[in-house]
Amino acid sequence: MFREIYDKGIMSYTEYLFLLSILTKPQTGFHIAFNMFDTDGNERVDKQEFLVLESIFSTARRERLQRSDTPAASAGAESEVLDDSLQKKHQVDTTLLVHFFGQKGKQDLKFEDFKMFMENLQTEVLEIEFNEFSKGLPTISELDFAKILLRYTHLQADQYEMYLERLIDKLSEEKGISFSEFKSFCQFLNTLDDFGIAMRMYTLAEQPISKDEFHRAVQICTGHSLSEHIVSTVYNIFDDDGDGALSYKEFIAIMKDRLHRGFKHNLRSEGWEAFRHCVKAEMKETK
């Protein structure tokens, strides 16, 4: 849809937040929401029901942006006023609404069609990130994979270097990470909350977890398995003492930064702190 319309479409601010939610939420959450509105059990919603669903998923992200002192927050406040006035008066049907419900807005949206839209949108964004490092090749290096995972984190420069150096020291040979492996891991990150619950239940004393335990938790949360190579690469990045165990609390904390792709709440910093933050961000992008 986005490739066909190029820059000729119209999108509301609520939809923008909703699409961001699609990038960071597991499909199960949307399926539950669909079922809540699906009173006759046919897994379809109409346009008005979808607008309510869309508003629910965008509200939390809107509040997060408004709490943060960022250009996106101030722009969002202005966009929200226009967005609400247009939608309440039903003057404009956005391109997304037309795509889902037709020109007259009378069609129903099947969950299977929405699920395909979610998968395509997630894949499109992940391909952009992957291709930035692959340069047309079918794989990216393990080091590039680590840089992608850490690029939106709030690590200090020395901590960031420590993770990369740890991977380099432990990497016996470069096999490369395929897009399929990269996509599977990023889709797993959308279930981080479920993963955290599974780990807390499995290790009541919050002990580090082994690779087998990690594999099992991912299988439970996603229904799919990650490749042995990508799990080994993750452990090479985050296993600080080389004992084959991972501090899942540290892993989850860092991966949540990655998941939010820079939209996580940040306090405004000025002067030297702001300058240092910018330098650190540039170092991550150029290394």
pLDDT tier, 176 (very low <50, low <70, confident <90, very high otherwise): very high
CA dist., res. 170 & res. 156, Å (int)? 22
- Rounded alpha-carbon distances, angstroms, from residue 206 to 170, 189, 243, 246, 257: 25, 20, 16, 11, 21
Give whole-number Cα distances, 151 to 79, 156, 176, 281, in Å.
28, 12, 19, 8
**Longest CA–CA separation in the chain, Å:** 62
For residue 80, give both structure tokens. 């929200």
Mean pLDDT lowest among 81-95, 120-134, 239-253: 81-95
pLDDT score of 59: 78
The strand pairing partners of 247, in sequence order, are none
pTM of full prediction above 0.85: no
270-286 pLDDT tens trace: 455 555 656 666 665 55
Residue 144 vs residue 172, higher pLDDT: 144
Q: How buried is residue 114: exposed, middle or buried, by Cβ count under 10 Å (0-12/13-18/19+)?
A: buried
CA 280 to each of CA 49, 149, 161, 286: distance values in angstroms, whole numbers, following the listed order: 44, 16, 11, 10
Q: Are strands 209-210 and 44-45 parallel, antiparallel or unpaired?
A: unpaired
Per-residue confidence (pLDDT) for residue 154, from 0 to 100: 80
**Which residues are CB-contacts of 90 (< 8 A; sequence separation ≥ 6)?**
none
Encode 196-258 in three state secondary structure.
HHHHHHHCCCCCCEEHHHHHHHHHHHHCCCCCHHHHHHHHHHHCCCCCCEECHHHHHHHHHHH
Question: Is the pLDDT confidence value at 8 over 80?
Answer: yes
Which among 98, 8, 120 has a CA at the least distance from the CA of 50? 98
Q: What is the mean pLDDT of residues 252-262?
A: 79
> What is the residue-wise DSSP string for 22-67?
HHHS-HHHHHHHHHHH-TTSSSEE-HHHHHHHHHHHHHHHHHHHHH
Token readout for 244 is 């084959």
Query: Which 8-state DSSP code applies to residue 186?
Result: H
Q: What is the pLDDT of residue 270?
A: 46
The answer to whether residue 113 scores a pLDDT higher than 50 is yes
**pLDDT, tens digit, for every residue of 134-153?**
999 999 999 999 999 998 88
